[in-house]
């Protein structure tokens, strides 16, 4: 392994994957590897895959081909959800050398002895039912924020989802172990931590510890200014969590991302979701009652088998009436080994695309209305370093994206602003305090 000096990484998929890639990256750096871009002809290339959509599978093949063009001798290692679900399929991709499943990806260094390109890739994975270990992870590299993995796996078996098959049962470290990871982040220059996992509200799985207990303890961690909850199931977002985050917390911001998937109770049942639309509406109402300026994001799926025009409009109208801030719209795609792939009444792809287009337009309207509702308010912006056309961006506590005149001294700092107007790109312009302008 000593002759290999440069390693590159690429991550497909969710925030959880990014946190895990960062942890794997640190394993390499700790034994002397230099981290480089995949375009720089790395000696080793680690691809962390996703398999939520068909496009992620195709992207995996494209990336392997791309890195092999820069250096035909690059040793290619593929890990992640796609690697667990379809290891033999990945092993047959030209250029791939090692495929590591869920149990093996954090042991990657153990697989790097006597590295030589072989005709047949090495595959190391176990039945996902045997995956019980939880490996804490957090992303590091973005100075502004870190994704902290607090939970992995899922005990829900939604009919459209392969994640339980790729990541196994729900599991987590103890609250104290999770706090210890957060304290490591607090020792860096990172100002904001995003809590991530597959089903973070299931933290503790009904044992003595739970997600609310974790939230309360994280709130006490000095050195981290903000905690943001990435995504939480509506049935697990209790009123006590909402009240704590919005009324009593020092560090949790007024921003929730709550998956809905459908506004039709019939479809929610077919999806095997654990709530009905009425509960979802109650959660949104409770949040807005306590803090009307809270940002609420929503996941929704269009084109699920059996979704009629009437049921889609039920979802559309439900979302129109809800006081939410933006949508993440997913077009249903058939996934092997799921229950939904066997369902009748398949929605034609052109209808799926049209419904997606309608919800994307609705999302833009919702976001615009939310931004308009906060014009004139003051906010605290965490400024990001990147420059774009003489400006830099940042986000308020409640996830309003703002633009500021470029000033490198402001990167990774908090700036108090007044939200003034929405520009043509849908980003908020602000008025900064004079003390900031004089810096």
The whole-angstrom separation of Cα 100 and Cα 105 is 5
C-alpha gyration radius of the chain:
22
pTM of the full structure: 0.90
Q: In the numeric block, which tokens belong to residue 78?
A: 């593929």
The whole-number pLDDT of residue 437 equals 47
CATH number 2.60.120 given to 378-437: no
| Coil, strand or helix at 77 | strand
The whole-number pLDDT of residue 296 equals 98
The whole-number pLDDT of residue 435 equals 52
Tell me the average pLDDT of the chain. Answer: 92
The whole-number pLDDT of residue 59 equals 84
**Which residues of the chain are under the pLDDT cut of 50?**
1, 437-439
| Coil, strand or helix at 181 | helix
Class of domain 6-129: alpha beta
Which residue ranges make up each domain of the chain?
6-129, 137-373, 378-437
What single string gives the DSSP state of each residue in 366-408?
Answer: HHHHHHHHHTT-EEEEEE-S--BTTEEEEE-TT--EEEEE--G
311 contact partners, CB below 8 Å, separation of at least 6: 262, 264, 266, 267
96 contacts 78 by C-beta, under 8 angstroms: yes
The whole-number pLDDT of residue 438 equals 43
CATH number 3.80.30.20 given to 137-373: yes
The whole-number pLDDT of residue 24 equals 94
The whole-number pLDDT of residue 15 equals 86
The whole-angstrom separation of Cα 239 and Cα 110 is 46
The whole-number pLDDT of residue 439 equals 47
């Amino acid at each position: 392994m000593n002759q290999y000096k440069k390693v590159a990484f690429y991550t497909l998929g969710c925030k959880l994957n990014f946190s895990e890639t960062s942890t794997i990256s640190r394993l390499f750096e700790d034994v002397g590897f230099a981290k480089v871009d995949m375009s720089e002809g790395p000696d080793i290339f680690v691809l962390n895959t996703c398999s939520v959509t068909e496009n992620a599978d195709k992207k995996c093949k494209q990336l392997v081909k791309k890195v092999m063009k820069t250096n035909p001798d690059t040793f290619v290692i593929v890990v992640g959800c796609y690697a667990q679900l379809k290891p033999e399929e990945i092993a047959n991709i030209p250029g791939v050398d090692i495929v590591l499943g869920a149990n093996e990806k954090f042991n990657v260094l153990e697989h790097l002895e006597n590295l030589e390109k072989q005709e047949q890739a090495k595959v190391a994975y176990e039945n996902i039912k045997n995956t019980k270990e939880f490996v804490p992870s957090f992303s590091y590299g973005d100075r502004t924020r870190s994704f902290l993995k607090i939970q992995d796996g899922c005990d829900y078996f939604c009919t459209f989802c392969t994640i339980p098959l790729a990541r196994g049962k729900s599991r987590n470290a103890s609250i104290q172990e999770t706090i210890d990871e957060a304290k490591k982040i607090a020792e860096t220059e990172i100002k904001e931590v995003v809590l991530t996992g597959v089903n973070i509200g299931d933290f503790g799985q009904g044992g003595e510890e739970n997600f609310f207990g974790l939230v309360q303890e994280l709130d006490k961690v000095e050195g981290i200014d903000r905690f943001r909850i990435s995504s939480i199931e509506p049935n697990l977002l209790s009123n006590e969590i909402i009240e704590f985050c919005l009324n009593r917390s020092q560090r949790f911001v007024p921003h929730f991302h709550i998956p809905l998937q459908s506004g039709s109770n019939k479809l929610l049942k077919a999806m095997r979701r654990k709530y009905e639309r009425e509960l979802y509406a109650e959660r949104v109402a409770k949040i807005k009652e306590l803090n009307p300026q809270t940002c609420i994001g929503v996941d929704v799926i269009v084109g699920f088998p059996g979704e009629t025009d009437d049921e889609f409009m039920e979802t559309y109208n439900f979302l129109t009436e809800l006081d939410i801030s933006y949508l993440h719209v997913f077009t249903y795609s058939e996934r092997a080994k799921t229950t939904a792939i066997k369902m009748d009444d398949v929605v034609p792809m052109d209808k799926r695309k049209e419904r997606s287009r309608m919800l994307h337009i609705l999302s833009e309207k919702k976001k615009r209305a939310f931004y308009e509702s906060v014009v004139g308010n003051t906010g605290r912006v965490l400024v990001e370093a990147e420059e774009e056309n003489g400006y830099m961006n940042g986000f308020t506590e409640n996830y309003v994206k703002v633009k500021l005149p470029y000033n490198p001294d402001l990167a990774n700092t908090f700036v108090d602003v007044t939200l003034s107007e929405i520009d043509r790109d849908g980003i908020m312009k602000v008025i900064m305090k004079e003390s900031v302008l004089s810096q």
